[in-house]
């Protein structure tokens, strides 16, 4: 993460008086153009974040280094990205930690890769399309620096055909048919390892969950994140009229040790009709 004065080659976020955001790569002598007139890059280079610069027509822009969320929403993309509201929960569901060995497949534009790398993961990425693989590597290097590629090993290959790794800590999937990877993930993950899949439709989720029931995975769970902002202006306090609702479903499961799996034909203890995973406990542990 860069600090100090802004330098040529850095990406900055320009925010105008109406809150519109523009992602710009600084270059000495260059200009950023909109209908409000050009902004000279030289008026930004050497300055600090948070300062205001003006276009040739007097329009105001506040300058910041972009956050990961800003980059995900504004960066060049070749595929639909996982939105910031889902990236945060996904990192916690996968319990990503520094040095975690992760197989990620379905790289798209690299949004998830950047989040995983920022959390300290060591990533092997499988991507079927060469153009998506290159775009993901480029976006990672642009935001995190070329040194991040030392922890990001991208292969152009089909994960449905297998995973050439063992003892992985996590398998993270952004694919249309993740159930086809479940058997490969069983062989590649260590006991207790976590599988996380991001899917846009509940029909896909149902198919994945059915496959997980017949697998060596346990503790399967699915959630959806809905994001609603609030309008707060003096005494006027109310929910925003618009919200970021459905984008996708997150499904996670953990690999059980072979001895812990239930043999075929064994019956689990009957559950009460109202029982849910966790014994019906609330998230804070209360019954």
Q: What are 149-198's pLDDT values in tens digits? A: 999 999 999 999 999 999 999 999 999 999 999 999 999 999 999 999 99
Domain boundaries, the chain: 11-66, 70-259
CATH architecture type of domain 70-259: 3-Layer(aba) Sandwich (3.40)
Alpha-carbon distance 30 to 11, whole Å? Answer: 13
- CA 19 vs. chain centroid, Å, equals 24
**Distance, CA of 118 to chain centre:** 11
Does residue 223 register a pLDDT over 70?
yes
Q: What is the DSSP string of 10-64?
A: -EEEEEETT--EEEEE--TT-EE--TT--EEGGGTTT--TT-EEE-TT--EEEEE
Sign of the dihedral through C-alpha 178, 182, 188, 190: positive
Q: Is 198 helix (H, G, I), strand (E, B) or coil?
A: strand
C-alpha to C-alpha distance for 143 and 136, rounded to whole angstroms = 11
The CATH architecture of the domain made up of 11-66 is Roll (3.10)
Q: Residue 78's pLDDT is what?
A: 72
pLDDT at position 11 over 50: yes
Q: How many CB atoms lie within 10 A of CB 160?
A: 14
DSSP state of 183: H
């Amino acid at each position: 993460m860069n600090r100090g004065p802004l330098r040529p080659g850095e990406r900055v976020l320009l925010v105008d008086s109406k809150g519109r955001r523009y992602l710009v790569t600084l270059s000495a002598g260059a200009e950023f153009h909109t209908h409000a007139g050009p902004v000279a890059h030289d008026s930004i280079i050497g300055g600090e974040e948070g300062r205001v610069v003006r276009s040739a027509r007097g329009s105001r822009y506040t300058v910041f280094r972009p956050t990961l969320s800003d980059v995900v929403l504004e960066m060049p993309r070749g595929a639909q990205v996982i939105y910031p509201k889902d990236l945060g929960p996904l990192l916690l569901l996968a319990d990503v930690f520094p040095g975690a060995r992760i197989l990620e497949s379905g790289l798209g534009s690299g949004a998830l890769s950047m989040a995983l790398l920022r959390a300290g993961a060591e990533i092997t990425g499988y991507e079927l399309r060469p153009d998506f693989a290159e775009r993901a590597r480029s976006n990672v290097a642009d935001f995190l620096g070329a040194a991040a590629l030392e922890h990001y090993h991208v292969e152009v290959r089909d994960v449905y055909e297998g995973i050439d790794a063992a003892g992985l800590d996590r398998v993270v999937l952004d694919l249309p048919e993740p159930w086809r990877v479940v058997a490969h993930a069983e062989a590649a993950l260590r006991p207790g390892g976590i599988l996380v899949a991001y899917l846009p439709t509940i029909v896909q989720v149902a198919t994945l969950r059915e496959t997980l029931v017949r697998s060596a995975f346990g503790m399967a769970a699915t959630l959806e994140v809905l994001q609603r902002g609030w309008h707060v202006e003096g005494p006027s306090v109310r929910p925003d009229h618009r919200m970021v609702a459905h984008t996708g479903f997150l499904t996670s499961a953990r690999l059980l040790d072979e001895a812990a799996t239930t043999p075929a034909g064994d019956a689990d203890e009957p559950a009460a009709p109202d029982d849910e995973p966790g014994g019906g406990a609330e998230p804070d542990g209360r019954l």
